[in-house]
Chain A
Amino acid sequence: MNLKTSILDYINDVKSGSFSVEEFTSATIQRIKDVDGDVHAYLSLNESAIDDARAIDKKISAGEKVGTCYGFPISIKDNICITGSKTTCASKILENFVAPYTATVVSKLQSEDAIVTGKTNLDEFAMGLTTEFSAYGPTKNPWNLKYVPGGSSGGSAASVAANECLASLGSDTGGSVRNPASFCSVVGLKPTYGLISRYGLISYANSIEQIGPVTKTVKDCGFLLNVIAGQDSNDDTTIDNANSDYLNDIEQGIEGKNIGIIKEMTSDGLSPEVSSATKNAIQDFEKLGAHCEEVSLPTIPYTVAAYYTITSTEAGSNLARYDNIRYGYDFESEGYEYNSYISKSRTKFGPEVIRRIILGGFVPSAGHAGKYFLKALKVKSKLISEANSAFEKYDYLISPTAPVQPFQFGEKIDDPVTLMLLDYNTVTANLTGKPAISVPYRVTDGLPIGMQIIGDGKSEKSLLQAAYALESKTDLPEVPL
């Protein structure tokens, strides 16, 4: 039994009887016990995972219909609700919040017999790029425990990279799935806005964020997307994907496709290692038969500012509900009137969240909206039209996922602006609503580098074909943990 297996291989092994679901689940839980003390990918574990596994084994031996997931273990970012489980958003303010309902994505996984291993760590309310902003301590990068795993879905990416599960669901508001996927050498997809239901995902910036799969292989990503994508009556923003099969034809290749290398994301600011890896990747795409050329989207330099303006505005509003009145943590209300009570109770937020709430109170305010919020919306619509015209010419746009490799803890946490620039290559997909995937491409000096491929809206099928083609050109070492 090999915990490093992919979902697809796992399913074949379970089907052929190489091992039982219970055996694999137990081994996974043992693995978590062995390594998670160091990695700290999980915030809480599913106590009934073994029971769930037994129930699936029983179905298999009885010859009953089994869901397509055959009990593979999956971790869930702790900003996605599951009935009866704590959903903390890695925040003290939701320390005791037990969700009374299950997110659509998790319901879909459960009805296809996937087993949830537990809830994974994140930057508080998904605001950050290193998981250092988790109120429950940071997650470590399985490739080197002194290094950050990326974020905000750092726990998700680390749990997959450290073989503490076979896949994970993260959320991506500005790169929060792709950035840690790149830092931990796993596959991470930010789907087209609306492809996956957000029902049960605790909102940070709801106009641009999506739940996204984190997997070991591109095929696993396609498999998972088949399970969780599609219109949901609980989320009015979901779109019809016509029951696409993202796995079928994934090996089709990209011969004759046109690829635009985004100039603004590949010229300045890349570390030498990332820059060199990017050049190699371009060569690989050409070897695969694609035609690559540079393309400029001149609005990109303004996107990070626009991104933080828009997300802070939405965050300020989305996080307003945490007033500790209807749910929250124990807090003696005696002696407080309403306003002093909520301001006192809201001091439980961590520094990055408070920073963004303050920003979110300022940029859309009556005297300043014209200078900030409305301008940011203009950047967004300009960027969308630039991206749309690029996709008239190109099938894919590419860049490295992050401009740098993982860095050490504490290195950038005191410099919020530098941290924000880590989003430079990823926010474009969120602001435009286009799908983007990070594919593990290199491990240089023991630290991973991921490549990003952006597709046109609803083009996940074709996007995964390109990702699969690039993945087939790589030969990466195993995680040293």
Chain B
Amino acid sequence: MTKIGLEIHCQLTKLESKLFCSCKANYREFEPNHNICPVCMGLPGSLPRLNQKAVESATSIAMALSCKTPEKIAFFRKNYFYPDLPKNFQITQLNVYGDMSIGGEGYVDVEGAKIKIRRIQLEEDPGRLIYEGESERTKITLVDYNRAGTPLVEIVTDPDFENPRQVRVFLNILSDLLENLGVAEPGLEGAMRADGNVSIEGGNKVEIKNIGSFHDLEKALHFEITRQESLSERDIEIVQETRHWDDRRKITISSRSKEEDQDYRYFLENDIPWVKIDQETITSLQKNMPESISSKKERFVEKFDIAPQVADILASDKYYFDLFENAHSDSDAKDIANLITTDLMGFVDTKEKREKSKLTSQHLSDLIAAINDKTLTRTSSKTALQEIVKSGKSVKELLSEMDLGQVSDSSEIENIIMEVFEEEKQAVLDAKENPETVNYLVGKVMQKTKGKADPTKTLELIKSKLG
């Protein structure tokens, strides 16, 4: 049986400052090496000052993943030399000597399967290396320390996944959960990274590193399973090792560098005293914890009679959730939910589109109100949404400007029906024979009015004309 485990790193980008200094956690907006200070640069004499908010955020993650949280936590030094590491050690956590990291022994429900979370730890992100130069001779490495010290949570699962598809579902659930908690923005470039490990029946565990995206992770896992299976078929031993994902060739390569069997000489980071996480903190975190995705979904289905698959989208995507929650009242909730999932989604399905979009919750409730009082047809709402996303104009403005108002004047509709009857003689005959086909004619009228004709009235008028 194939076993896959994951190691996920997620930046706590919603925090104001880095893990041990007051530089910004959101380093992305800075020129290289402009979001640094003596502490995150590890200058001699500087000392880390623990960001208590990061401890709280990481604890909420642990709680949301049903982990046990310890009464007190400690930090450790992981010692190794690397140019992106200003102190040449990383301040992280470790479960040794009976000391606990910020959480452990949790689980996530993935389509009925229980994926166990082994541990969660809080640590600092290193800086970033940027490689420049074409040839081997001109190659240079630049270091940007803006990222150094960014609060990072490492989530380690047990090898509970049976296939790469399950991994993908899990990562979607996890990234929705982290976003829903309001502690991270998994959509940001590099904010959430995952490494995997794979073993097949009778084989050793192989770790895969250097994976750029979740998409690549899935590919890497597929490749690795196939590689291991073909070795196994030929009775070749699968050695325990770390392999690197080669993004260009889309294969995993054995990493023979010494780096991999390094001894990190972990020991306690004494510059940061043990941090007590008392019951009071836990209670207050629990109280302020946002409603979970599953409970949101349940609420939408039960209270508003929203279809489960629609409720699922609204509950798990924080963007849609916020739009929905701010737009709806008890009476129009279902309409707004459907408006979002049928008409809006195509216009705001990427981060870039969402950032550009001028749409607000008010637009959604106004649109539904217009549809309900029949100043707008349901079919025109998509056109309206497209324009709103682009320009941010109010529904009222749009109704007058764009000629989207519903046509419910009988004589106007009648004129159009006459036109259609002229053009569609065969269809008129058919409809007289078989009333079921009358919708074809209604459709033609709607086409001519660009969806503005009141559908109920149109049907009535056509029926009466057909006799």
**Chain A contacts to B: CB under 8 angstroms:** 79-81, 87, 89, 94, 97, 99-101, 103, 198-203, 206-207, 233-237, 313-314, 316-317, 320-323, 325-327, 338-339, 342, 361, 364-366, 369, 373
Residues of B near A200 (CB, < 8 A) are 45-46
Q: For the complex formed, measure the closest distance between the CB of B59 and the CB atoms of chain A, giving whole angstroms.
A: 18
Expressed in whole angstroms, the Cα–Cα distance for A16 and B83 within the complex equals: 58
Residue of B nearest to A361 (CB): B265
Q: Is B325 an interface residue (CB 8 A)?
A: no
Chain A to chain B contacts (Cβ below 8 Å), 8 pairs: A80-B45, A199-B45, A207-B270, A237-B272, A313-B267, A326-B43, A364-B265, A373-B267
CA distance A197 to B267 in the complex (A): 22
Instruction: Choose one: B44, B81, B272; the contact of A94 (CB below 8 Å).
Output: B44
**Given A101-B43, A317-B79, A321-B86: 4 more A-B contacts, CB < 8 Å:** A101-B38, A236-B49, A237-B270, A313-B267
- List B residues 8-28 near A (Cβ within 8 Å): none
A207 contact set on B, CB distance < 8 A: 268, 270
| Chain B min CB distance to A440 (Å) | 30
Cβ contact within 8 Å between B77 and A317: yes
A58 to chain B, nearest CB (A): 32
- Contact, CB under 8 Å: B47 / A342: no
- Quick check: B81 and A237 within 8 Å, CB to CB? no
In the complex, what distance in Å separates the CA atom of A464 from the CA atom of B7?
A: 54
- A364 surroundings in chain B (CB, below 8 A): 265-267
B89 located at the interface, meaning its Cβ lies under 8 Å from any Cβ of chain A in the complex: yes
| Given A320-B87, A321-B88, A235:B47 Cβ within 8 A | yes
**Size category, B interface:** 20 to 34
B residues near A (Cβ < 8 Å) are 38, 41-50, 77, 79, 81, 83, 86-89, 141, 143, 263, 265-268, 270-273
- Chain B residues near A87: list those with CB within 8 A: 44-45
Q: Are A317 and B265 in contact (CB under 8 A)?
A: yes
Q: How far, in Å, is B41 (CB) from chain A's closest CB?
A: 6
Closest chain A residue to B266, Cβ basis: A364
* Known contacts A236-B272, A320-B89, A366-B263: A198-B79 contact under CB 8 Å: no
Assembly CA distance A338 to B131 (angstroms): 13
Q: Is the CB of B44 within 8 A of A206?
A: no
Residue of A199, A203, A339, A369 touching B81 (CB-CB under 8 A)? A339
A360 closest partner in B (C-beta): B265
For A201, give the chain B residue with the smallest CB separation: B45
By the criterion CB–CB under 8 Å, are B44 and A202 in contact? yes
Q: Which residues of B contact A321 (CB under 8 A)?
A: 42, 44, 86-88
Q: How far is the CA of A199 from the CA of B83 in the complex (A)?
A: 25
CB-based contact B45/A103 at 8 Å: yes
Contact flag A342-B81 (CB < 8 Å), given A206-B270, A236-B271: yes
B37 → chain A closest CB, angstroms: 9
| Complex contact A326–B86 (CB within 8 A) | yes
Contact B43 A327 (CB under 8 A): yes
CA–CA, A48 to B351, complex, Å? 56
Q: Is the CB of A317 within 8 A of B270?
A: no
Residues in A whose Cβ lies below 8 Å from that of B41: 326
A236 to B20 Cα, complex, angstroms: 10
> Count the A-B residue pairs with Cβ separation under 8 angstroms: how many?
99
Q: Give complex CA distance A317, B83 in Å.
A: 15
B89 and A317 form a contact (CB under 8 A): yes
The interface residues of chain A lying within 8 Å CB-to-CB of B46 are 101, 199-200
B79 contacts which chain A residues (CB < 8 A)?
316-317, 320
- Do the beta carbons of B88 and A323 come within 8 Å of each other? yes
Report the nearest B residue to A367, measured CB to CB: B263
In the complex, A174 Cα to B38 Cα: how many Å?
A: 27
Whether B265 lies near A233 (C-beta < 8 A) is: no
Q: Which residues of B contact A320 (CB under 8 A)?
A: 79, 81, 87-89
Knowing A100-B38, A321-B86 are in contact, say whether A234-B81 is a contact too (CB < 8 A). no
With beta carbons under 8 angstroms apart, the residue of A81, A99, A365 that contacts B265 is A365
CA distance A94 to B101 in the complex (A): 36
Known contacts: A101-B38, A233-B49, A237-B270. The answer to whether A81 contacts B83 by CB under 8 A is no
Task: Please name all residues of chain B whose beta carbon is closer than 8 Å to the beta carbon of A323 when the two chains form the complex.
Answer: 81, 83, 88
Partner among A202, A314, A366 whose Cβ is within 8 Å of the Cβ of B45: A202
Bound-state CA distance A199–B49 (Å) is 10
Instruction: Collect the chain B residues with CB atoms within 8 Å of residue A326's CB.
Output: 41-43, 86
Q: Which of B42, B43, B50, B141 contacts A236 (CB 8 A)?
A: B50
Q: List B contacts of A236 (CB < 8 A).
A: 47-50, 271-273
Chain A residues within 8 Å of B81, by CB: 320, 323, 339, 342
A342 to B88, CA, bound (A): 11
Chain A residue numbers with a CB within 8 Å of B48 are: 236
Question: Are B271 and A316 in contact (CB-based, < 8 A)?
Answer: no
Nearest A residue to B268 by beta-carbon distance? Answer: A207
Residues of A within 8 A of B50 (CB): 236
Shortest Cβ gap from B146 to chain A (Å): 14
Q: Measured between C-beta atoms, what is the minimum distance from A81 to chain B in Å?
A: 4
A317 to B79: give the CA distance in the assembly, Å: 7
A325 with B267, Cβ < 8 A, contacts A81-B45, A101-B38, A236-B48 known: no
Q: Which residue of A lies closest to B48 (CB)?
A: A236
- Bound complex: CA of A28 vs CA of B264, how far in Å? 49
**Identity of the chain B residue whose Cβ is nearest the Cβ of A365 in the assembled complex:** B263
CB pair A237–B271 under 8 Å, yes or no, is: yes
Chain B residue nearest to A373 (CB atoms) is: B267
CB distance from B87 to the nearest CB of A (A): 5
Closest chain A residue, CB of each to CB of B39: A234
Complex Cα gap A316–B143 (Å)? 24
Instruction: Report the Cα distance A229→B142, complex, angstroms.
Output: 42
B90 to chain A, nearest CB (A): 11
Determine if B271 and A100 form an interchain contact, defined as CB atoms under 8 angstroms apart: no
- Asked if residues A206 and B271 are in contact (CB atoms below 8 Å), the reply is yes
Residues of chain A with a CB closer than 8 A to B77's CB: 317
Contacts of A199 in B (CB 8 A): 45-47
In whole angstroms, how far apart are the Cα atoms of A169 and B88 in the complex? 29
Bound-state Cα–Cα, A235 to B268, Å? 16
With contacts A202-B44, A321-B86 taken as known, whether A313 is within 8 angstroms of B265 at the C-beta atoms is yes
Chain B residues near A322: list those with CB within 8 A. Answer: 44
User: Nearest-CB distance from B211 to chain A (Å)?
Assistant: 23
Cα distance A100–B79 when bound, in Å?
A: 26
Q: A200 CA to B265 CA in the complex, in Å?
A: 25
Most chain A beta-carbon neighbours within 10 Å: one of B49, B141, B263, B265: B265
CB nearest to B145 among chain A residues: A326
Tell me, in angstroms, the Cα distance from A99 to B44 when the chains sit together. 8
**Which residues from chain A contact B38 at a C-beta distance below 8 Å?**
100-101
**A321 CA / B87 CA spacing, docked (Å):** 4
Interface centre among A80, A203, A314, A321 (most CB of B within 10 A): A321
A206-B91 Cα distance, complex, nearest whole Å = 15
Residues of A within 8 A of B143 (CB): 325
For the complex, give the distance between the alpha carbons of A236 and B91 in Å. Answer: 15
Q: How far is the CA of A207 from the CA of B49 in the complex (A)?
A: 15
**Roughly how many angstroms separate A249 CA and B89 CA in the complex, as a whole number?**
46
Closest 8 CB pairs of A and B: A320-B88, A207-B270, A202-B44, A81-B45, A200-B45, A366-B263, A364-B265, A202-B45
Q: How far is the CB of A131 from chain B (nearest CB, A)?
A: 20
Nearest CB of A to B96, in Å:
10
